[in-house]
Amino acid sequence: MSKKEEPKPPSIFQMAKTFAGELTKYIKEGAPNVSNKVYIERLEACNTCPHLIKSSMRCGLCGCLLEHKAKWKTTTCPDKPERWKPVFMDKAALELKKNFDEQEEEEKRKQEILDKKRAIKAAKLVNEKRGFGNLKAKDLTSNNLKVTYKKINDAENPEDNNSKTSK
Ligand code: SF4
């Protein structure tokens, strides 16, 4: 029975060089590990990867032992495209992400204020028109804005509404 051929690892020299680089990065960052969940997800991805050298549980592309490679937060999958997502970010990437998150948070906050202002305006308009029921607190939530706007529109353009219902 012919044994299924395994991928060949890089040369010993290349493996040692790659491992030394990975180890330096890992130590420099304070030896951070991924969560058990991520560790298992990574190993599952490696397990179905054609580059896996099963007999030694090494990655056939970089030659690293997966026991370490999948556990260390600072490592990445060398395949293209990557078979598992990196979770480590260096300082520059972290700074960029922080700025982006802050910007997004600010946009969200502005949108919420805008929604509230619109809802309050809508509430005032509808109340002015009367005959559409008193607005309740729930009408001021963004989900109900569409309904509220429709009420305003109907109030401001009753002929539109009448022509629709008379058809
Ligand atoms: S690290 Fe990436 S390329 Fe290497 S065995 Fe795992 S999934 Fe395959």
Distance 44 CA to ligand 1 centre (A): 10
Mutate to test the pocket of ligand 1, among 19, 39, 57, 83 (most ligand atoms within 8 A of CB): 83
- Report percent pLDDT > 70 for the chain: 67
% residues pLDDT > 90 (the chain): 39
Count of beta carbons in the 10 Å neighbourhood of residue 69: 23
Q: Average the pLDDT over 110-125 and give the result.
A: 79
Q: Contact 26/79 with Cβ under 8 angstroms?
A: no
Average pLDDT, the chain: 80
167 pLDDT higher than 70: no
Asked if residues 163 and 134 have their Cβ atoms less than 8 Å apart, the reply is no
* 3-state secondary structure (DSSP) of residue 155: helix
pTM, two decimal places = 0.56
* pLDDT tops 70 at residue 149: no
Ligand 1 proximity of 53 Cβ (cutoff 6 Å): no
Regarding predicted confidence, which is higher, 83 or 96?
83
pLDDT at 79: 94
Two tokens at 54? 């099963």
pLDDT above 60 for 62: yes
> With a 6 A CB cut-off, is 64 part of the ligand 1 pocket?
no
Of 166 and 42, which is predicted with more confidence? 42
For the chain, domain boundaries: 1-88, 91-166
Task: Identify the band that residue 166 occupies on the pLDDT scale cut at 50, 70 and 90.
Answer: very low
Mean pLDDT of 128-142: 58
Is the shortest distance between the CB of 41 and ligand 1 below 6 Å? no
Return the best residue to mutate from 8, 22, 38, 52 for the ligand 1 pocket (most ligand atoms within 8 A of CB): 52
Closest CA to 71 of 84, 53, 61, 89: 84
**Is 113's pLDDT higher than 50?**
yes
Out of 1-10, 75-84, 88-97, give the one with best mean pLDDT. Answer: 75-84
> What gap in Å lies between CA 148 and CA 140, rounded to an integer?
8
